[in-house]
């Protein structure tokens, strides 16, 4: 019997993750617990596995063959799977993780099945590796309390915690950094209520694509979205970007959610600006979260690959220079709030078109 084996991320509660998996599956599935993992039975294991890859709260997803814990059954199944997944001329490694006691130890099965596989695959010049790091293919097996699971394919998950664990938060979408900020908020367990800011049709289209990408990280059937046209003060590029960020913040201060997510980092924003917006948010009785504050590694790589963001991170905008635009920013915020359009959209293939059709 083939099943989908789900391994939660470190801080992901199993029960909450099981609920999220049932929603993501979209069809009837059976879920049971085996140690720290979740065993999912479905009519189409491959389809279910790929639905779960983008689901927050999951470390890895495996399509596995479920067999009895008997030594011979486990060893034979490893050989059977290995013959299918190990390619000619490649090095392989058999790894067995034993989470429950048996009348054998994991090393016994690794030795027996690896020896048999070496003989079976001699004709295609596949040979065992000395360790997991040197292997082209690792044949992974888990020995649980009730059964053993021989993995045919192991796929890395999104990590984080189950979607919605921390409730709702408002996030602005108006830049590449804001996309990362929203994404980290989703992975942290927030339900994002997006505020999409745009200055023209091109920005609306790009923002709508980003919003659509973010919904794929969730299990929502409906999504709340606010579309907000904005007018940016005429200034140099660095000041324009900072002005757009401040306009986004002040619009978020007028939405109903107490929690707001801000796309600010000490690598890309002046310290005086970050300290100022934190004070402004707290005075408005909001709780600001800044997932990018200390520059995660993948964000650093994103910035290095973006000439626009690299230039922005080097630029220094002083507080006195920026204050010259306070009146224009205040006026832009008032105008945007009057023109804000709140939507409730179905999450599905027509999501992007529904956003564009609403204008």
pLDDT recorded at residue 206: 84
CA dist 207 → 124, 152, 200, 227 (Å) = 50, 38, 11, 10
pLDDT per position as a tens digit, 131-162: 999 999 999 999 988 899 999 999 988 888 88
What percentage of the chain exceeds 90 in pLDDT?
39
pLDDT surpassing 90 at residue 112: yes
Indicate the pTM of the whole model.
0.74
Q: How far apart are CA 341 and CA 357, in angstroms?
A: 12
pLDDT, position 52 = 87
pLDDT for 101 = 84
**The pLDDT of residue 314:** 44
For 57, left (φ over 0), alpha (ψ -120 to 50), or beta? left
pLDDT surpassing 70 at residue 303:
no
Higher pLDDT, 294 or 57: 57
For 189-214, write each residue's pLDDT tens digit: 898 888 999 888 888 888 888 887 77
For the cut 90, the answer to whether the pLDDT of residue 11 exceeds it is: no
59, 64, 69, 72 alpha-carbon torsion, rounded to 10°: -130
Q: What is the pLDDT of residue 302?
A: 63
| Bridge partners, 95 (sequence order) | 140
Domain annotation for the chain: domains and CATH numbers: 2-158 (3.30.2130.30), 167-357 (3.40.50.620)
Q: Is the pLDDT reported for residue 259 higher than 90?
A: yes
pLDDT for the residue numbered 4: 92
Beta strands in 174-327 (DSSP E): 190-198, 222-229, 259-261, 287-289
Give me the mean pLDDT over the 71-80 stretch.
94
Confidence at 298, pLDDT banded by 50, 70, 90 = low
pLDDT score at 82: 94
Q: How confident is the model at residue 104 (pLDDT cuts 50, 70, 90)?
A: confident
């Amino acid at each position: 019997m083939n099943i989908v084996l789900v391994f939660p991320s470190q801080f992901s509660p199993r029960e909450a993750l099981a609920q999220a998996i049932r929603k993501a599956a979209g069809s009837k599935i059976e879920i049971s617990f085996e140690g720290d993992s979740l065993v999912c039975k479905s009519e189409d294991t491959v389809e279910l596995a790929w639905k779960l890859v983008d689901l927050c709260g999951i470390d890895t997803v495996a399509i596995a063959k479920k067999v009895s814990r008997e030594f011979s059954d486990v060893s034979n199944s490893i050989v059977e799977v290995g013959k299918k997944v190990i390619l000619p001329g490649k090095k392989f490694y058999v790894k067995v993780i034993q989470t429950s006691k048996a009348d054998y130890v994991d090393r016994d099965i690794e030795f027996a099945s690896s020896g048999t596989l070496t003989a079976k695959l001699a004709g295609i010049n596949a040979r065992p590796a000395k360790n997991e790091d040197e292997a082209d293919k690792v044949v992974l097996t888990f020995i649980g309390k009730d059964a053993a699971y021989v993995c045919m394919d192991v796929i890395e998950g999104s990590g984080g915690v189950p979607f919605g664990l921390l409730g709702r938060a408002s996030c602005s979408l108006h830049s590449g950094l804001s996309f990362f900020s929203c994404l980290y908020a989703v992975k942290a367990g927030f339900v994002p209520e997006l505020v999409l800011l745009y200055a023209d049709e091109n920005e609306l289209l790009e923002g709508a694509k980003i919003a659509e990408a973010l919904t794929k990280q969730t299990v929502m059937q409906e999504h709340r979205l606010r579309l907000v046209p904005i007018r940016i003060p005429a200034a140099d590029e660095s000041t324009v970007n900072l002005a757009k960020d401040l306009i986004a913040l002040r619009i978020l201060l007028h939405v109903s959610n107490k929690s707001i997510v801000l796309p600010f980092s000490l690598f890309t924003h002046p310290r005086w600006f970050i300290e100022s917006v934190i004070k402004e948010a707290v005075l408005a009785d909001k709780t600001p979260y800044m997932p990018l504050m200390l520059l995660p590694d993948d964000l650093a790589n994103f910035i290095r690959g973006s000439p626009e963001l690299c230039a922005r991170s080097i630029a220094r905008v002083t507080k006195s220079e920026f204050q010259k635009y306070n009146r224009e920013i205040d006026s832009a915020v008032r105008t945007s709030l009057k023109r804000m359009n709140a939507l409730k959209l179905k999450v599905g293939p027509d999501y992007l078109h529904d956003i564009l059709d609403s204008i």
